[in-house]
């Protein structure tokens, strides 16, 4: 019951997390078969970290998990949209609600989001 085409991108599919209530795009990550199936089974977002080459259960360090409310697949069956409830109010590891907290404008790059938490306090590595 995979229903997603993982062959197009070498075993991975982009996964967009969107706030289920507001519709705000929170982040983009990648899923392999195992992450996709775990997400469907547990209703908690699980991704594949390309930099660490392993499963990444969203919130495993911060506690800011994503409770999955709905899973949608695009028309080509190669992109996943997760409508989520973002626990803790922030999806971004830099402490912002959304990973899309910077805007490019005439003046250059501008921060347009407000930090929800201090990453130094949450990620104590």
pLDDT in tens, 45-96: 999 999 999 999 999 989 999 999 999 999 999 999 999 999 999 999 999 9
pLDDT for residue 1 is more than 60: no
* Contact assessment for residue 28 and residue 4, using Cβ atoms and an 8 Å cutoff: no
The span from the CA of 5 to the CA of 73, in Å, is: 10
pLDDT at 123: 86
Percent of the chain with pLDDT over 90: 90
Query: How large is the average pLDDT for residues 94-116?
Result: 96
Which residues fall within 8 angstroms of residue 31, CB to CB, at 6 or more apart?
4, 12, 13, 15, 39, 46, 47, 48, 80
Looking at beta carbons, which pairs linking 26-34 to residues 24 or more positions away fall under 8 Å?
26/66, 26/84, 26/86, 26/91, 26/92, 26/97, 26/98, 26/99, 27/91, 27/92, 27/98, 27/99, 27/100, 28/99, 29/56, 29/58, 31/4, 31/80, 32/6, 33/2, 33/6
Q: Is the pLDDT of residue 125 over 80?
A: no
Q: What predicted TM-score, i.e. pTM, was given to this entire model? A: 0.92
Q: What is the pLDDT of residue 49?
A: 96
């Amino acid at each position: 019951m995979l229903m997603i085409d993982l062959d197009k991108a070498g075993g991975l599919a982009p996964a967009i997390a969107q706030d289920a209530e507001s519709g705000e795009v929170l982040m983009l990550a990648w899923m392999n078969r195992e992450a996709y199936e775990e997400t469907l089974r547990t209703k908690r977002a699980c991704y594949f970290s390309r930099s660490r080459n392993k499963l990444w259960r969203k919130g495993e360090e911060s506690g800011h998990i994503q409770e999955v409310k709905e899973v949608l697949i695009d028309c080509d069956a190669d992109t996943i949209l997760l409508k989520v409830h973002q626990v803790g109010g922030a999806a971004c590891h830099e402490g912002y609600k959304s990973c899309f907290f910077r805007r490019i404008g005439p003046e250059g790059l501008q921060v347009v989001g407000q930090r929800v938490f201090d990453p130094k306090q949450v990620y104590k590595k």
